[in-house]
Amino acid sequence: MSYILLHNPSCSTSRNGLDLLDNAGVEVDLRKYMNASEALSEDELRDIAKKMGVSSPREFLREKDAKKFELPDTASDDEVFAAMAENPRLIQRPIGINGDKAVLGRPIENLLDIR
C-alpha cells in the first residue's frame, strides 16, 4: 500500500507535514491537487471523507476560503463537494491517505497515525 499525501507546496503546513513524514521514514506519493492535472473529483473527495470517517465535507473545508469564494453556510454537502472539486483552494491540507484510512494533517502529527 502506498501513502498518498495531498500536498500544496505553497502551504507551509503542507510542507511541514511532508518534512515530518520524510523524517519518520515514511515514503509518500505526492498528489499536488492544486494542479489541474492532479485535481480531485467529487467522487474522490467523497471517498476521502469516507476514509476519514467524517459525515460531512465541512470537516476538511477551509472555512476562510469558503467565505472568500462565497460558499454559503447553508450549502448542502453535495454543493460543498462540488465547490471543492471546482476550486481546490477550499480543501484543507495536508491530507494523508493510506489504504482505507485518511487523516487531516491538522496538527501535522496526525499524518503519522495512518502510516
Burial 70-88 (b: 16+ CB within 10 A, else e): ebeeebeeeebbbbbbeeb
Q: ∠ CA 7-54-48 to the nearest 5 degrees?
A: 40
Q: All 3 cell numbers of residue 59?
A: 470537516
Q: All 3 cell numbers of residue 47?
A: 471517498
Q: Are 17 and 92 in contact (CB under 8 A)?
A: no
Known catalytic membership, residue 11:
yes
From the list 11, 75, 112, 114, the catalytic residue is: 11
Q: Are 3 and 22 in contact (CB under 8 A)?
A: no
Amino acid at 7: H
List active site positions.
11
